[in-house]
Amino acid sequence: MVCRIQRALNFVPAAQSLQTVKGMGIGMNTVKPFYESRKKVYDCHVWWHPNFPFHLHKHMEFVHVTEGEMDATVAGVSYHLTAGDCLMIYPNQLHSYSSVGEVGMLLIIADMDSIGEFQEELTYYDMESPCFQKSMLSRYGQMVLDILADIGLHKELRPFRQDKGLLMALLADMYENIPVIKKDKPSDLNITQKLLQYINDNITGELTAQKVAKELGISPYYLSHIFSSQLNISFPSYVAQQRMILACNLLKDSRKTVTEISYECGFPNMRTFHRCFQKRYECTPTQWRERSHKGTDEKIRHQLWNQEKVESENSLE
């Protein structure tokens, strides 16, 4: 099989991945897993030189390597993908990408509510292997995949309703031709995924180790142990990190004032917000907004994904 499984692990901490992120100027070993909050219902594009740290989201994700070769890790299993390989990623599966050289990857991401009857397929059935070759699809399925790749290559801005039929046809062909097995029961999120998702869903409110642990039915000690042993970051630092990412997105994409953004991101006061922001980005929120709007400071914009440790244990006090 071309998409070779490299290794299987119960959990792969981001700190074990030493692949440098091309074009970002950061190391994957500095990148921490995070829950990605996506607003788009659907996205289809060709991604060149794909590199992205461990993350998860509630959407389904489909990958097709159009040229070159790359590595992907999904749910603790690493795959080496070459041109013609496909990879299916189910909702809330921790995954990452790394590549070197000339690599092109078609990436399709869709909200589960948008895929109709296939939501049930993705919930109750697993592919025997989520990694398969394009040639395993019917010739019609391969044609649909080629059309989607062409759309993604040219970055056409099209309403989802125009592409929905193509996505449905691709999923139908996949489930007709790729062997699947029925799950004993719908898989539950493991505790690490539940933690990341809970923090993402409640990032604008009060988040303490005691409160989060109580909500998830675990002890604060066990919560801290999960973050230190599996995510290689403290709980307060991770919360601060996620709030910084949200703040940067709001600074870049909204017209809200810095004060409004500060409170919307869960910071207790402007002083704490400015202190955390200055320490992480070495500039003020206003300066960051100006640079991101000008589009002239690549380093500033890439820092959105630089998940280096933000604060000490007392960062949110």
- Domain hosting 155: range is 4-182
130, 156, 182 - which closes a domain: 182
User: How many folded domains does the chain comprise?
Assistant: 2
Contact 123, 117 (CB under 8 A): no
pLDDT for the residue numbered 64: 98
For residues 151 and 9, membership in a common domain is answered with yes
For residues 120 and 243, membership in a common domain is answered with no
Contact 237, 312 (CB under 8 A): yes
For residues 176 and 212, membership in a common domain is answered with no
For residues 136 and 209, membership in a common domain is answered with no
Taking CA atoms, 201 is separated from 54, 152, 158, 243, in Å, by 18, 30, 29, 12
> Which two three-digit tokens encode residue 254?
């909204």
Ramachandran angles phi, psi of 31, nearest 5°: -100, 130
Contact 134, 76 (CB under 8 A): no
Q: Give domain status of residue 317, yes or no.
A: no
For residues 146 and 60, membership in a common domain is answered with yes
Helix (H) or strand (E) holding 238: helix 235-253
pLDDT for the residue numbered 158: 67
What three-state secondary structure class fits 127?
strand
For residues 225 and 164, membership in a common domain is answered with no
Helix (H) or strand (E) holding 74: strand 69-74
Amino acid at 291: R
pTM above 0.75, yes or no: no
Query: Tens-digit pLDDT profile for the chain (317 aa)?
Result: 456 554 333 333 333 332 323 333 333 434 556 666 666 788 889 999 888 888 888 889 999 999 999 999 998 889 999 999 999 999 888 888 999 889 999 999 998 888 888 988 888 888 999 999 999 999 999 999 999 999 988 876 666 777 888 999 999 999 999 999 987 665 556 788 788 888 988 988 889 999 999 998 999 999 998 888 777 788 998 898 889 888 888 888 888 999 999 999 998 889 999 998 988 888 999 998 888 776 544 444 444 434 333 333 333 33
For residues 93 and 230, membership in a common domain is answered with no
Ramachandran angles phi, psi of 144, nearest 5°: -60, -45
Contacts of 23 (CB under 8 A, 6+ apart): 49, 51, 302
For residues 32 and 89, membership in a common domain is answered with yes
Q: Which residues pair with 82 in a beta bridge?
A: 69
CA angle 214, 11, 101 (to 5 degrees): 130
Task: Provide the CATH number for the domain around residue 124.
Answer: 2.60.120.280
For residues 25 and 120, membership in a common domain is answered with yes
In terms of Cα–Cα distance, which of 149, 162, 235 is closest to 192?
Answer: 235
Q: Give domain status of residue 162, yes or no.
A: yes
For residues 240 and 104, membership in a common domain is answered with no
For residues 154 and 220, membership in a common domain is answered with no
Q: Give domain status of residue 313, yes or no.
A: no
